[in-house]
Each structure stands twice: as C-alpha cells, then as structure tokens.
Amino acid sequence: MAEPTPISQARSSKLVTIGQVLSLLTPEFPELTQSKLRFLEDNGLVTPQRTDSGYRKFNEADVERLRLILELQRDRYLPLKVIGQFLADLDAGKSVALPGDDSKNGRHSRVITTKNVTKIELIAETSITDSLLAEAQSVGLISDEPFNASTIEIARSIMKLNRGFGITPRHLRGVKTAADREIGIIEGVVAPVLAKKEPASRSKAAHFAEELQSHFANIREELIRSAIAKIDD
C-alpha cells in the first residue's frame, strides 16, 4: 500500500453526501456500505459536517480519511482501535509510523479486548464479508453473536486467507476438527484436577491447559515447518 497523503493536506470546500462518498469509494472497496460509513462516524474515526436538517456532508479531507481507514483495514488487517489511535496522533501533529508493520515478522499486533461485539461491529472491525461469515459459522469456526476477541482474530485470519490465497472456511474444516480433538485431550487432562474441588484446583487446571496448548502449538508448528522445508529441497 502506498504511503497515505497526510490528512491535514487534503482540504476542499466541496461537500458531498454519504451516497456520493459511497460512489467515490466503492470502486476501491466494493463491500463498503452506508451502514459501515455511519459505524465509522459513530466510533469517532471521521466527523462529517451536518446541515441544519441533520444530513451528513463530507469534505475532501473526510473522504481521504475514510480511504486511509479502509486501506489500513483491508491491506494491514488493523483493528479500529489501532487505526483510531493512529489518526488521533496524526491529528495532533505527531510524527508516527504507518501502523501494522512488525520488523520481525510482518504481522500486526493483536489488540486484546474483553468487549463482545455485534455482527455489524465484527464486519466493520475485520472487513469479513457476510458470505464468509455465514460459511465460517456453518462449519463451526465462528459461533453466533455476540462475538468475543477470539472471534475477531479468527475472522481477520479468514479474510487474510481468502484474499491472499482463495481459501474459504470450508477448506478449514480440518483445522476445526484438529482443534476440537486438542480441546478434548485438554479437557480429559484437567477434569481430574477440577474434580478435587480444592482451592487451587481451577488455577492449576488453567495452568495445565495453557501448557498443553503451548505443546500442541509447538508440535503443529514443527510439523508444518518440516513439510515446508521439503518444498525448498
């Protein structure tokens, strides 16, 4: 993605309606809707002017700001919280790096939240499409709303796999099956610990579960790494 034009440099006296904004941006972002634009406004990411009748009016700076927000979501898979902080720093005149870059592995930083979100918020946060979300729910990768932080990460990864490699949730049935089997093993190990009803039982069980999950992840990573190494041979 090209470096964005500083928002402060995008100024114009021309005002456009929300429908005209949609017409300007949908060629680049086909899944954009008026609901998404209103959601971004409700979250303080853009502040259009209002007429006496209450209609939204966007100037050129607003449109460029929206384009930047949508690019950061689409190309860097950033949560709105991170984008909002980035924009706040820009508005304050701070010199900030474009978010989403990890010098070590190119991954975005995960933002941990305990807040559950609705379907509209999940789509706005991850850019997942209705069809991909429905398919992910049908194969058990994503449950019904409200959606938690883990669901946000799963939805973001599903979008990344689909856009980058054409992989759909149906291709991930095996991943879900493997995860369910690992969960079954973990539950079997911690069940006797929880059955003791001792004061430290729950914390001990949680510790065991986390350690088991870590070992499973290491085994899975090494198996995949070994298979990839054979491709390079």
Distance (Å) of CA 73 to CA 6, 84, 123: 18, 11, 11
pLDDT at 107: 47
- Give the domain 7-91 fold: Multidrug-efflux Transporter Regulator; Chain: A; Domain 2 (1.10.1660)
Tell me the pLDDT tens digit for each residue of 76-106: 778 888 889 889 988 887 767 776 555 444 4
Tokens at residue 189, please? 């190990």
- Domain ranges within the chain, ordered by starting residue: 7-91, 119-167, 173-232
Mean pLDDT of the chain: 84
pLDDT at 121: 86
Q: SS3 for the chain, per residue?
A: CCCCCCHHHCCCCCCECHHHHHHHHCCCCCCCCHHHHHHHHHCCCCCCEECCCCCEEECHHHHHHHHHHHHHHHHHCCCHHHHHHHHHHHHCCCCCCCCCCCCCCCCCCCCCCCCCECHHHHHHHHCCCHHHHHHHHHCCCCCCCCECHHHHHHHHHHHHHHHHHCCCHHHHHHHHHHHHHHHHHHHHHHHHHHHCCCCCHHHHHHHHHHHHHHHHHHHHHHHHHHHHHHHHC
In whole angstroms, give the CA distance from residue 171 to residue 174: 7
Tell me the pLDDT tens digit for each residue of 167-211: 999 999 999 999 999 999 999 999 999 998 887 888 888 888 988
- Residues whose CB is less than 8 angstroms from the CB of residue 208 and which lie 6 or more positions away in sequence, other chains included: 186, 189, 190, 193
pLDDT bin (cut points 50, 70, 90) of residue 71 is confident
Tell me the pLDDT tens digit for each residue of 135-146: 999 999 999 988
Query: Which residues are paired to 147 by β-bridges?
Result: 117
Instruction: Tell me if 96 sits within 8 A of 72, measured CB to CB.
Output: no
